[in-house]
Amino acid sequence: MKATQVRPTGVERTLGEDELIVTKTDPRGVLTYANDVFLRLSALVEDETIGKPHNIIRHPDMPRAIFKLLWEALGQRQEVFAYVVNLATDGAHYWVLAHVTPSSDAQGRLVGYHSSRRRPEPGPVTAISKIYAELRAEERRHDNSAAGLDASWAKLQDILGSRNQTYDEFVWSLTNGAY
């Protein structure tokens, strides 16, 4: 089931304090592995998950500019930390602090991506939610999705520039209590 077919219900799920979501994808972002915590929170079963694009859990409130940032970093073989809200197939949502890394074979060839996600603290989620709402509002101001993405990206760069931080530095400042 695609996330675009699911309407958010406003019901929030949270990971347990010691729980981790783990997924693996191929280089195109197609799921090759999902642990039981991912399946439970996303309201999926394994047969509905493996072989599907990871974006089956994309929440409509998640700005496209953040995914652009993620894919650009991964394209440069860099790890990414990001706050992400996901949409379960039953309409519930859950926030995570995601850590996504490229995976390589013994010859150094990219074979996919590994993502570990943990429960974020409420303070950073509140802070990032406000910024993500600004980015999504900017995206919606444009009829053309490419123009919306460009505008959202520019707004993200302005926000980070005003803080004199990279996105990575911003995520860590939130994680360390600077919100």
* HEC string for 2-46: CHHHCCCCCCEECCCCCCCEEEEECCCCEEEEECHHHHHHHCCCH
Mean pLDDT over each residue of the chain, to the nearest integer: 95
Does the pLDDT at position 30 exceed 60? yes
Tell me: the pLDDT tens digits for 70-123? 999 999 999 999 999 999 999 999 999 999 999 999 999 999 999 999 999 999
> Helix, strand, or coil here: 133?
helix
DSSP 53: B
The whole-model pTM stands at 0.92
Where residue 2 falls among pLDDT bands split at 50, 70, 90? very low
CATH number of 3-12+19-175: 3.30.450.20
Strands 93-104, 80-87: pairing is antiparallel
